[in-house]
Amino acid sequence: MDFFEEKELARIWEEGDTEEGMTVEQMADIVIRGFGNCGEEFCISRQACGEDSCACVRDLFPTPQHFEFYKEARAFFERELCRASFNAFIAKGAIFSAEKKK
């Protein structure tokens, strides 16, 4: 794959004109697990197209709208996970402090 071919593939993907989709289950799984790029130090696709439309993103998300939805849902999931973890930590601390008073 060369630089210009990558740019063209990204341009086509960014149009979002496809019949492909994702199921709720597929999206939920990715939101829970998280998504990362290929991990290669040098990636021609990422270099040519940027983080948000490289081949890693295009291969997983049928359209930019799917990717944007993923990013919003993932941020919400991480906030709520953090909130739940903090609440569990505080509740555990409250239990320990109540036991010390007995």
pLDDT digits (tens, 9 = 90+) for 40-62: 888 889 999 998 999 999 999 99
Given this model, what pLDDT does residue 37 score? 81
- From CA 67, how far away is CA 70, in angstroms rounded? 5
Q: How confident is the model at residue 102 (pLDDT cuts 50, 70, 90)?
A: low
Looking at the whole model, is its pTM more than 0.85? no
Give pLDDT tens digits for 66-93. 999 999 999 999 999 999 988 888 887 7
Alpha carbon separation from 62 to 39, 56, 96 (Å, rounded): 21, 11, 49
Residues in the chain: 102
The DSSP secondary structure of 45-64, one letter per residue, reads: HHHHH-TTSSHHHHHH-SSH
Give me the percent of the chain exceeding a pLDDT of 70.
90
